């Protein structure tokens, strides 16, 4: 067999490589940069930019259609388009003393459906994100059990797994607004919120595996991070729907979300879903740890405080329009939003356009799952007049999302956590949207 002629193949491959070198994305970016640089500086700028822009539009054929794109595994772990660089978590620096013990917010205005992409799930750490080697991580289960155990990640993953879609919300979500509206963006008013498909083992399976002793009533969950975060979980919850999860939206947990393993207490305040889980201790009493005394207790006007305020009650917010996504001009719009309840499924969502005088039912879109984000939709022909937009959710227990006046009447303004009030967006004639509070 004679040697194949390499020159022809090499020639073709060379052309392919050359063509692929003309990366259309870069063309587009260069164009944008030029457009931005010119806009407002030279008189000829806008005209030139417009001409340039037209070269991409029909009847012209844009460069990315006349060239090759990137090959496989150029980006082995796929990332969003560079044009989506605005879709990121953000923080409000003055909220906390250090970004090691702080919070960032999910960009809710940019999200579709009910699933939060892993890289956009809000962050909350008390001592930063640890880099944990899963091979060296252990989960210990002990206390009032018959057979105390130490599990490797491999051991844990041998148990039959379940996957559920559940929201996680920090109980301080919206907590900056008890006294008044001060966050100017949806990302900051409601962004301590996420919803993922979580995969792991029911805690009940693990507790049956170790065997509970008589009198067991609480489980202490502890993290392996520098805060060694702890929460006491009533056994009733632990045996109901608490999970020990190691995967999120189909892949391993992100380090920010507790890699390699975390607790998930569906419907309960996010702080109880202890990340980087290293230990579960069974006992007959609660431990009254720092995160269930000094923090995550709700101070009432009489100076006493509620403890073990676990449930995230029914809440909702309109995500379009919102301050980040104003309306461009009058016309037909699909008003959208998210509703969720820590007690079960959302039964219904109503929308008001006049600050709560009149309400109309919205449509629930897609899956309506218990303790998960539920998307609602409301078609509206906006005539260009100012409006006060609100949403009001009801869950399957019949509980109706309250307004802020009702919450303040009972709780005052110093309880920080669990503000689930009806939210108001003021829509101006310009289409601009502002976070306001109304009487």
Partner 1 sequence: MSRSTRGLLFAVVGAASAGLLSLAAPLSGLAADAQKIPEGATIGPDVEAVEISLAYRPDPDPKRAGYYGFGEPATDEMIAGWDIDVRPDGKGLPPGSGSVEDGEVIYEEKCAACHGVFGEGEGRWPKLAGGFGTLTEDRPEKTVGSYWPYVSTLWDYVHRAMPFYEPQSLSNDEVYAIVAYVLFLNDIVEDDFVASRESLAAIEMPNKDGFFVDPRPDVKNAACMEGCKDPSDIRITWDSTELGVTPVEHFKAEEQAEVAVDPNLGLNIYQQACATCHKGGLAGAPIVGDTGQWGARVAQGFDVLVEHAVNGYQGSAGYMPPKGGQIQLSDDEVAAAVRYMVDNSTD
Burial 389-406 (b: 16+ CB within 10 A, else e): bbbbbbbeeebebbbbee
Separation between Cα atoms, residue 79 and residue 119, nearest integer Å: 10
Stretch that binds partner 1, among 19-27, 113-121, 249-257, 292-300 (CB under 8 A): 292-300
Separation between Cα atoms, residue 140 and residue 148, nearest integer Å: 8
- What is the C-alpha R_g of the chain? 26
Quick check: 52 and 32 in contact, CB under 8 A?
no
Q: Write out the two tokens for 212.
A: 């509970």
Q: Which is nearer to partner 1, 188 or 259 (CB)?
A: 188
Q: Is the peptide bond before 321 cis (omega within 30 degrees of 0)?
A: yes
Q: Which is nearer to partner 1, 67 or 230 (CB)?
A: 230
Work out whether 161 is an interface residue with partner 1 (CB under 8 A).
yes
Work out whether 437 is an interface residue with partner 1 (CB under 8 A).
yes
Quick check: 120 and 88 in contact, CB under 8 A?
yes
Q: Which is nearer to partner 1, 75 or 357 (CB)?
A: 357
Collapse the DSSP code of 411 into the 3-class scheme (helix H, G, I; strand E, B; otherwise coil) and give the result. Answer: helix
Work out whether 348 is an interface residue with partner 1 (CB under 8 A).
yes
- The distance of closest approach from Cβ of residue 237 to partner 1 in the complex, given in angstroms and rounded to an integer, is 13
- The distance of closest approach from Cβ of residue 160 to partner 1 in the complex, given in angstroms and rounded to an integer, is 4
Q: Which residue has the tokens 């608490």?
A: 242
Q: Which residue has the tokens 């980040």?
A: 324
* Burial class, 203, CB count within 10 angstroms (exposed 0-12 / middle 13-18 / buried 19+): buried
Q: For the packed helices 24-38 and 44-54, what is the interaxial angle rounded to 10 degrees?
A: 160
- The distance of closest approach from Cβ of residue 23 to partner 1 in the complex, given in angstroms and rounded to an integer, is 26
Q: Which is nearer to partner 1, 101 or 118 (CB)?
A: 101
Q: Which of 141, 193, 264, 277 binds partner 1 (CB under 8 A)?
A: 141
Work out whether 182 is an interface residue with partner 1 (CB under 8 A).
yes
Dihedral pair phi/psi, residue 85, rounded to 5°? -70, -10
Task: Please report, as residue ranges, which positions from 183 to 202 form the binding site for partner 1 (by CB under 8 A).
Answer: 183-185, 188, 201-202
425 forms beta bridges with 389, 435
Q: Which is nearer to partner 1, 220 or 338 (CB)?
A: 220
Collapse the DSSP code of 94 into the 3-class scheme (helix H, G, I; strand E, B; otherwise coil) and give the result. Answer: helix
Task: Please report, as residue ranges, which positions from 215 to 234 form the binding site for partner 1 (by CB under 8 A).
Answer: 220, 222, 226-228, 230
Task: Please report, as residue ranges, which positions from 388 to 407 form the binding site for partner 1 (by CB under 8 A).
Answer: 388, 392, 394, 396, 399-403, 406-407
| Total residues at interface with partner 1 (CB under 8 A) | 131
Task: Please report, as residue ranges, which positions from 230 to 259 form the binding site for partner 1 (by CB under 8 A).
Answer: 230, 241
Stretch that binds partner 1, among 25-33, 41-49, 117-125, 154-162 (CB under 8 A): 154-162
Q: Write out the two tokens for 181.
A: 């509206």
Q: Which is nearer to partner 1, 271 or 403 (CB)?
A: 403
Work out whether 74 is an interface residue with partner 1 (CB under 8 A).
no
- The distance of closest approach from Cβ of residue 57 to partner 1 in the complex, given in angstroms and rounded to an integer, is 24
Q: Which residues contact 168 (CB under 8 A, 6 or more apart)?
A: 121, 193, 194, 195, 196, 264, 270, 273
Q: Which of 15, 29, 66, 307 binds partner 1 (CB under 8 A)?
A: 307
Binding mask 313-332 for partner 1 (x = CB under 8 A): x---------xx-------x
Q: Which of 115, 142, 217, 239 binds partner 1 (CB under 8 A)?
A: 142
- The distance of closest approach from Cβ of residue 328 to partner 1 in the complex, given in angstroms and rounded to an integer, is 14
Stretch that binds partner 1, among 1-9, 44-52, 247-255, 363-371 (CB under 8 A): 363-371
- The distance of closest approach from Cβ of residue 393 to partner 1 in the complex, given in angstroms and rounded to an integer, is 10
C-alpha closest to that of 108 among 120, 123, 124: 120
Quick check: 425 and 386 in contact, CB under 8 A?
no
Work out whether 361 is an interface residue with partner 1 (CB under 8 A).
yes
Q: Which is nearer to partner 1, 70 or 158 (CB)?
A: 158
Quick check: 168 and 275 in contact, CB under 8 A?
no
Q: Which of 140, 217, 239, 252 binds partner 1 (CB under 8 A)?
A: 140
Work out whether 123 is an interface residue with partner 1 (CB under 8 A).
no
Work out whether 160 is an interface residue with partner 1 (CB under 8 A).
yes
Q: Which residue has the tokens 């978590």?
A: 89
Collapse the DSSP code of 257 into the 3-class scheme (helix H, G, I; strand E, B; otherwise coil) and give the result. Answer: helix
Task: Please report, as residue ranges, which positions from 12 to 71 form the binding site for partner 1 (by CB under 8 A).
Answer: none
The helix (run of H) or strand (run of E) holding residue 382 is strand 374-382
Separation between Cα atoms, residue 351 and residue 361, nearest integer Å: 6
Work out whether 365 is an interface residue with partner 1 (CB under 8 A).
yes
- The distance of closest approach from Cβ of residue 239 to partner 1 in the complex, given in angstroms and rounded to an integer, is 11
């Amino acid at each position: 067999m004679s040697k194949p002629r390499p020159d022809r193949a090499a020639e073709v491959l060379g052309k392919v490589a050359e063509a692929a070198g003309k990366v259309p994305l870069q063309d587009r970016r260069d164009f944008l940069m030029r457009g931005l640089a010119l806009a407002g500086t030279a008189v000829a700028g806008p005209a030139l930019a417009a001409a340039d822009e037209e070269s991409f539009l029909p009847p012209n054929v844009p460069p990315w259609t006349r060239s090759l794109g990137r090959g496989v595994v150029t980006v082995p772990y796929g990332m969003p388009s560079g044009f989506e660089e605005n879709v990121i978590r953000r923080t409000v620096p003055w909220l906390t003393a250090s970004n090691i013990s702080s919070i960032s917010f999910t960009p809710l205005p940019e999200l579709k459906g009910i699933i939060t992409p892993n890289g956009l799930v809000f962050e909350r750490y008390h001592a930063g994100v640890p880099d944990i080697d899963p091979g060296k991580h252990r989960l210990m289960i002990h206390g009032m059990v018959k057979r105390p155990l130490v599990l490797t990640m491999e051991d844990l993953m041998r148990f039959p797994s379940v996957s559920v879609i559940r929201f996680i919300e920090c109980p301080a979500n919206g907590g900056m607004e008890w006294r008044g509206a001060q966050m100017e963006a949806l990302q900051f008013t409601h962004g301590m919120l996420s919803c993922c498909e979580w995969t792991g083992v029911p805690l009940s399976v693990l507790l049956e595996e170790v065997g509970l002793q008589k009198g067991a009533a609480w489980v202490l969950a502890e993290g392996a991070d520098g805060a060694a975060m702890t929460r006491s979980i009533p056994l009733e919850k632990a045996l109901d729907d608490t999970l020990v999860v190691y995967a999120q939206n189909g892949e391993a947990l992100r380090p920010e979300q507790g890699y390699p393993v975390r607790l998930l207490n569906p419907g309960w305040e996010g702080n109880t879903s202890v990340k980087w889980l290293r230990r579960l201790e069974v006992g007959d009493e609660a431990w009254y740890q720092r995160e269930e005394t000094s923090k995550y207790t709700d101070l009432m006007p009489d100076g006493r405080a509620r403890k073990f305020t676990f449930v995230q009650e029914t809440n909702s917010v309109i995500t379009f329009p919102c301050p980040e996504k104003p309306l461009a001009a009058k016309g037909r719009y699909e008003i959208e939003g998210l509703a969720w309840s820590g007690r079960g499924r959302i039964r219904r969502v109503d929308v008001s356009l006049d600050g709560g005088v009149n309400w109309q039912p919205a449509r629930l879109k897609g899956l309506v799952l218990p303790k998960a984000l539920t998307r609602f939709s409301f078609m509206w022909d906006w005539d260009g007049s100012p409006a006060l937009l609100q949403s009001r959710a009801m869950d399957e227990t019949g509980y109706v999302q309250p307004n802020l006046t009702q919450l303040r009447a009972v709780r005052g303004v110093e309880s920080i956590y669990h503000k689930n009030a009806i939210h108001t967006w003021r829509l101006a004639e310009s289409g601009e949207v502002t976070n306001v509070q109304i009487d």
